[in-house]
């Protein structure tokens, strides 16, 4: 048993003083706590203490000045602050740990990519893969036989060369959807994110599906339709280097084999290309062809040779030869890019009666209108012609869907002019397939989006409007705008001004009048072609063209240059022929003058004067046409620079 320590008198006195002191501290604390904010503020001023902070902080400061411990007065607050600090530290550690894990993952992925020869951004790659895991599963493809206009999309594989250059596969295909994962960086220059675009088409084919699969659901279901007297036109469209020619070559061989196996008709084939507004026969030494319209409104290709094919091997060989002599140029996207529209026409005849027709059209690499105005003149005119024909093609295909009474602007380009009977009539014996090819690289996302938007506009329709025999109300066709020359303001209306200002106004009016006259002359020269061009641009100006009127003027100038170039070459050839005849007469005249016999010098001078005047007349006319052509070339150059400057300002 522990012995109890007795309490001494000194301990009692010490305990008494401690209790009195605690009581005094408690009274002081209660007194301070009971003070109003104004009294606390005044007390702090009296003691020369700071007065900033909240009322709680002022109370604690006053307690501390009176020997009290402010922390003892609010222990709960102390615990709350400590807990908050600990929570912040914990989250900071978690973030650091996650950053280290992400950094390690990026380094591992980067090392794997380097080992596989890839150089793409691993952050974007991971984001795209994460998004792909949420894409719905692929649906079954539908055959094209149930559609009047079938719009398909095909994605080509990404090449090892592209991956080595840092390209990332930014396209996902899951029939009937196509997703474009556009890589973006926020304005801070650090944060990366994706902008995902989704499109839905009749059929979409991923990089894992070969030409046989594409053929199975595009051209193969239409073979009975062709053999039954129908006309099928199949287009391959897309950016340069997206696989159009590869796809078209595969479809050509397969459809030829199936048609030969199922028909006893005689097969005729013609193959021509349209390049820079000119037409060339690919199966006849690239001879130049003329596209003419007869009195009945039928389009005739003068000089085009149709070849008979005894069997499918011979027909495929002719098609392969035609593909080998197409016009190609090296571009930034493709070392051997097709820069012309190639039209392969296979006609089935029995006793000289057409019993079926198939057109396979490999379109030139599509470029945006803004991209074709900053190159050299040859590439610029080439790009403008390609884009003009693609705009015209879109409106012609739309007209096929709208019905037999819709306006078909087939004169908008040479390509749609020669394919006129593929669009007109709106009857059930015509079908169109558009296969849009896209490149998977993220640097091509802009071009891929343009191609997909183009294809998407082809299939715009009301519910079920794309089905065969579906009734579609007749659209209101906007009337073609006529150019009306405004009368020049009278000189009397010009307010009094200095002579220099008046001369400037007169000079400006004269220039404007001349510009209107030149424009009117060009429109008269282009005729119906210009009206269709204006119709096409009116239809597209609200959708895709931020420089609608300028682009129309640019296309008009290009069309004028091409027409004048043909005319100038023809006049030059005629001038050489006329000059040769004059030269023959000059030789005869000189031989007569240098002969042994006498000759009449007056007659010699008179005949020589006549010949010289004829020669001057021939070359004077040629020279005048040359000056006009040169002036239009300068106009095109200046206008192209103007468009380039506008585009740069727009991007800023």
Residues that constitute the known binding site:
238-245
Label residues 426-461 b or e (16+ Cβ within 10 Å = b). beeebbbbbbbbbbbbbebbebbebbbebbbbbbee
With H, G, I as helix, E, B as strand and everything else as coil, classify residue 152: strand
Return the H-helix or E-strand segment holding 123: helix 122-132
Which of 41, 35, 37, 28 is closest to 72 using CA atoms?
Answer: 28
DSSP alpha helix (H) spans, 311-362: 312-324
Spatial contact of 303 and 281, defined as CB atoms under 8 Å apart = yes
Residues whose CB is less than 8 angstroms from the CB of residue 116 and which lie 6 or more positions away in sequence, other chains included: 163
- Classify 459 in phi/psi space as left (phi over 0), alpha (psi -120 to 50) or beta: alpha
Residues whose CB is less than 8 angstroms from the CB of residue 2 and which lie 6 or more positions away in sequence, other chains included: none
At CB < 8 A and 24+ separation, what contacts does 541-546 make?
543/457, 544/453, 545/369, 546/650
Return the H-helix or E-strand segment holding 328: strand 328-329
Which of 529, 394, 385 is closest to 450 using CA atoms?
Answer: 394
Spatial contact of 124 and 441, defined as CB atoms under 8 Å apart = no
Q: Report how far residue 448's alpha carbon sits from residue 178's, in angstroms, rounded to the nearest whole number.
A: 11
In the annotated binding site for ATP, the residues are: 238-245
Estimate the share of the chain in helix, then strand, then coil, as percent rounded to the nearest 5.
55, 15, 30
Alpha carbon 290 to chain centroid, angstroms? 31
Spatial contact of 119 and 441, defined as CB atoms under 8 Å apart = no
Tell me the sheet residues that pair with 622.
none
Q: Report how far residue 38's alpha carbon sits from residue 51's, in angstroms, rounded to the nearest whole number.
A: 11
What is the sign, positive or negative, of the torsion defined by CA atoms of 203, 205, 209, 215?
A: positive
């Amino acid at each position: 048993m522990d012995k109890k320590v007795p309490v001494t008198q000194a301990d009692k006195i010490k305990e008494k003083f401690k209790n009195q002191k605690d009581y005094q501290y408690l009274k002081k604390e209660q007194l301070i706590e009971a003070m109003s904010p104004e009294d606390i503020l005044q007390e702090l001023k009296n003691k020369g203490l700071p007065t900033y902070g909240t009322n709680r902080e002022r109370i604690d400061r006053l307690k501390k000045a009176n020997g009290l411990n402010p922390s003892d007065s609010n222990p709960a607050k102390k615990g709350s602050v400590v807990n908050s600090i600990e929570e912040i530290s914990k989250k900071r550690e978690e973030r650091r740990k996650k950053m280290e894990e992400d950094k390690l993952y990026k380094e591992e992925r980067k090392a794997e990519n380097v080992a596989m020869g890839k150089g793409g951004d691993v952050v974007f790659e991971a984001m795209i893969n994460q998004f792909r895991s949420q894409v719905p599963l692929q649906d079954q493809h539908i055959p094209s036989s149930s559609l009047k206009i079938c719009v398909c999309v095909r994605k080509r594989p990404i090449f090892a060369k592209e991956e080595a250059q840092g390209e990332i596969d930014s396209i996902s295909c899951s029939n009937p959807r196509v997703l474009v994962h556009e890589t973006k960086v926020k304005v801070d220059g650090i944060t990366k994110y994706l902008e995902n675009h989704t499109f839905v088409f009749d059929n979409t084919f991923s990089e894992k599906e070969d030409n046989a699969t594409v053929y199975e659901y595009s051209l193969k279901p239409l073979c009975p339709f062709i053999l039954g007297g129908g006309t099928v036109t199949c287009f391959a469209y897309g950016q340069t280097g997206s696989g159009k020619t590869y796809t078209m070559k595969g479809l050509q061989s397969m459809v030829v084999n199936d048609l030969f196996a199922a028909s006893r008709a005689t097969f005729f084939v013609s193959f021509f290309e349209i390049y820079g507004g000119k037409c060339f026969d690919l199966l006849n030494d690239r001879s130049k062809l003329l596209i003419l319209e007869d009195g009945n409104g039928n389009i005739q290709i003068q000089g085009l040779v149709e070849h008979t094919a005894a069997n499918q091997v011979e027909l495929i060989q002719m098609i392969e030869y035609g593909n080998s002599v197409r016009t190609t140029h090296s571009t930034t996207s493709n070392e051997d890019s097709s820069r012309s529209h190639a039209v392969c026409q296979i006609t089935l005849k029995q006793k000289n009666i057409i019993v079926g027709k198939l057109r396979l059209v490999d379109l030139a690499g599509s470029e945006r209108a803004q991209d074709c105005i900053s190159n050299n003149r040859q590439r610029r005119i080439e790009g403008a012609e390609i884009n003009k024909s693609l705009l015209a093609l879109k409106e012609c295909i739309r007209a096929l869907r709208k019905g037999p009474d819709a306006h078909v602007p087939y004169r908008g380009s040479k390509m749609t002019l020669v394919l006129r009977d593929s669009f007109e009539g709106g009857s059930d014996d015509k079908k169109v397939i558009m296969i849009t090819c896209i490149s998977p690289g993220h640097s091509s996302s802009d071009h891929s989006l343009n191609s997909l938007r183009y294809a998407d506009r082809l299939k715009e329709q009301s519910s079920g409007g794309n089905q065969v025999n579906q009734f579609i109300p007749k659209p209101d066709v906007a009337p073609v705008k006529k150019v009306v020359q405004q009368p020049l303001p009278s000189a009397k209306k010009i307010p009094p001004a200095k002579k220099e200002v008046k001369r400037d106004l007169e000079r400006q009016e004269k220039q404007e009048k001349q510009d209107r006259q030149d424009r009117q002359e060009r429109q008269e020269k282009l005729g119906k072609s210009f009206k269709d061009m204006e119709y096409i641009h009116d239809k597209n100006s609200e959708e895709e063209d931020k420089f609608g009127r300028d682009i129309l003027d640019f296309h008009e100038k290009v069309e004028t240059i091409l027409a004048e170039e043909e005319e100038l070459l023809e006049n030059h050839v005629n001038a050489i022929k006329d000059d040769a005849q004059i030269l023959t007469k000059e030789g005869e005249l000189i031989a007569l003058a240098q002969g042994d016999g006498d000759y009449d010098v007056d007659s010699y001078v008179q005949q020589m004067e006549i010949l010289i005047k004829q020669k001057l007349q021939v070359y004077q006319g040629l020279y005048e046409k040359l000056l006009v052509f040169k002036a239009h070339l300068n106009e095109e150059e200046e206008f192209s620079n103007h468009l380039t400057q506008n585009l740069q300002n727009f991007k800023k």
